[in-house]
Structure 1
Amino acid sequence: MALDIVSRSKCFGGTQTTYRHASAETRCDMRFSVFAPPHAEREAVPVVWFLSGLTCTEENFTVKAGAQRVAAERGLMLIAPDTSPRGEGVPGDPAGSYDFGFGAGFYVDATQAPWSTNYRMRSWLEHELPGLVGRELPVDMMRQGIMGHSMGGHGALTLALREPSRFASVSAFAPIASPMNCSWGEKAFTRYLGPNRTMWRTYDACALIEDGARLPGLLVDQGTADGFLAAQLKPELLEAACEAARMPLTLRRQDGYDHSYFFIAGFIADHLRWHAERLG
């Protein structure tokens, strides 16, 4: 087996496992967590990918979101990948900031040195990891959904908009709606991709929609007490892009909720049931 088991526990009749593998794309060991529902013991099951936000690893969603109970009930496999390459020789942010480098891969394939050697999160998630999962785990790759939070919401939206035939369902919690138009994204894209903003458009959900990408539907939850709402997340830009493109968007503004995993835990059941209905 090409996967090393880091940890495994019984959970709601299924198993919660953290795997590690040597990635050819990122040139380092990468980790991801998998919840396999009880149904996976007898048949291939649909999968929902969850992409996490800044500072996170594969562990945050796994231990904080409270997703396993509903996933077990609905027969969904949940996969939460790490958010960046890590390890000896992998460059981080020299300044040690939280919004670039380790824990902040932004789900792009970097083109600028020294990041371009390891920061190939797009290729890892679009090609290498799905291929590995499809070969090694009891998953029905014809039934995939994706969701994410914050930076991971950006990642989920852009991966799905670039590959609409792969994902039957897409949702997000407090996504960075347009990284090209906020300081988090401008900092990351300038360093990873260089100064040519035209090259950034393939990693911006609003730009992708403006350029013709479409999804059959999208569910987004955003807390109104989120401290990053106005400066970084800007859901109104996604709302405007979807309206102009006549692309169905359910944007729910949740009164009083912040940016934390308490917010995600409050609505994760809604999202998983929404995915399950579309994955069959």
Structure 2
Amino acid sequence: MDSLQLESSNKIFGGYQKVYSHASSELKCKMNFSIYLPPQAEGGDVKLPLLYYLSGLTCSEQNFITKSGFQRYAAEHGVIVVGPDTSPRGVKIDGDDSSWDFGVSAGFYLDATNEPWNNNYRMGSYLNVELYDLILKAFCNVVDPNRIGIMGHSMGGHGALVSTLRNPGQYKSVSAFAPICNPSACPWGVKAFSGYLGEDKSKWAEWDATELVKKYNGPPLTLLLDQGSGDKFYLEKQLLPENLVEACRSVGVPVILQLRDGYDHSYYYISTYIGEHFDFHAKILKA
């Protein structure tokens, strides 16, 4: 772990919530990630399942670890949880901080091809190659490389779904809270994809879960989607889970859509149902 710098460590539910920083070769900047090591990781004599959690627009690695209460469930199930940041930091591209839904804190977990974003905004490769390999190497004594799942919220839900569908078999389980399910067809996605990828919509389809699932030919997979009915972004047609459900059913990919009456887009909602998601992942990762 020579390349990692410990930024913080707090004991919670018998385990340790840590934040590390490292120099990213993909993003060409210093990046933070969180890792929760449950009490079962102490001693390093047993290998545990791992879950990635991807946060949404405006977030960093901090939101999930301070607001969701997930550590209680991770400790109960003996699951390690890693949370990356949502974009490169400090690279200072002109216009990268001029809006909340593009640029800083809005990397969309894709690899940009448009200049000037293509030099740093490579969150897809950062998450699924660089950070993935770093975690397996740095925590090889406690992580079981054959039992890894992924989940996320909003933009991070999009990231979790896309990462799973683009990398068949890499993640054994996937779930998402209020995910952006069909970014090619919603304002957030159109803005991000136009900026990062250009106007060629065939490139957009490579990072859109609703399009990707139609071509999925990997190991058996069940998508768990969770959506609050009172979520203003759902009502404004930013999230479009029904489009993804329809696409899944058209090709026979199992999908579950939990519609939660009256819940919004916030961490109040996530903290209410995060335990159910850990149950879902644990059942698959411990099978």
Normalised by the length of structure 2, the TM-score is 0.95
Aligned to 2:31: 30
Aligned to 1:68: 71
Q: Structure 1: how far apart are the matches of 2:10 and 2:31?
A: 20
Relative to structure 2, which stretch is displaced further, 251-260 or 38-47? 38-47
Aligned to 2:47: 44
| Contact 1:162–1:213 under 8 Å retained in 2 | no
Q: Structure 2: how far apart are the matches of 1:94 and 1:47?
A: 32
Paired residues for 1:96-245 under 5 Å: 96-137=98-139, 138-213=142-217, 215-230=220-235, 231-245=237-251
- Deviation, 1:257, is 0.1
- Deviation, 1:163, is 1.4
1:250 aligned to 2:253? no
Equivalent pairs counted in the alignment come to 279
Q: Structure 1: how far apart are the matches of 2:94 and 2:266?
A: 24
Deviations 1:31-57 (A, max 9, x none): 110000111123221100000100000
| Contact 2:97–2:104 under 8 Å retained in 1 | no
Q: Structure 2: how far apart are the matches of 1:164 and 1:104?
A: 25
Deviations 1:127-184 (A, max 9, x none): 1101110111121111000000000000000000111211111100000010000010
- Deviation, 1:94, is 5.2
Q: Secondary structure at the match of 2:107?
A: coil
Q: Structure 2: how far apart are the matches of 1:260 and 1:94?
A: 25
Structure-2 change in CA distance of 1:131 and 1:95 (3 Å): closer
Q: Structure 1: how far apart are the matches of 2:86 and 2:106?
A: 6
Structure-2 change in CA distance of 1:178 and 1:92 (3 Å): farther
User: Is there any run of 5+ residues in structure 2 with no aligned partner, and where?
Assistant: none
Moved over 6 A (4+): none
| Paired-residue identity, % | 49
- Deviation, 1:15, is 0.5
Relative to structure 2, which stretch is displaced further, 94-103 or 253-262? 94-103
Q: Structure 2: how far apart are the matches of 1:95 and 1:30?
A: 17
| Contact 1:152–1:175 under 8 Å retained in 2 | yes
| Contact 2:96–2:102 under 8 Å retained in 1 | no
| Contact 1:93–1:102 under 8 Å retained in 2 | no
| Contact 2:229–2:259 under 8 Å retained in 1 | yes
Amino acid at match of 1:62: I
Amino acid at match of 2:8: S
RMSD between superposed Cα atoms in Å: 1.2
Q: Structure 1: how far apart are the matches of 2:137 and 2:210?
A: 33
- Deviation, 1:95, is 6.5
Q: Secondary structure at the match of 2:238?
A: helix
Q: Secondary structure at the match of 2:73?
A: helix
User: Is there any run of 5+ residues in structure 1 with no aligned partner, and where?
Assistant: none
- Deviation, 1:273, is 1.1
Which residue of 84, 88, 106 corresponds with 2:87?
84
1:269 aligned to 2:275? yes
- Deviation, 1:212, is 3.5
Q: Structure 1: how far apart are the matches of 2:135 and 2:93?
A: 27
Q: Structure 1: how far apart are the matches of 2:47 and 2:94?
A: 38
Structure-2 change in CA distance of 1:135 and 1:123 (3 Å): same
Q: Structure 2: how far apart are the matches of 1:150 and 1:256?
A: 17
Structure-2 change in CA distance of 1:213 and 1:180 (3 Å): farther
Q: Structure 1: how far apart are the matches of 2:172 and 2:96?
A: 39
| Contact 1:93–1:100 under 8 Å retained in 2 | no
Normalised by the length of structure 1, the TM-score is 0.97
| Contact 1:174–1:220 under 8 Å retained in 2 | yes
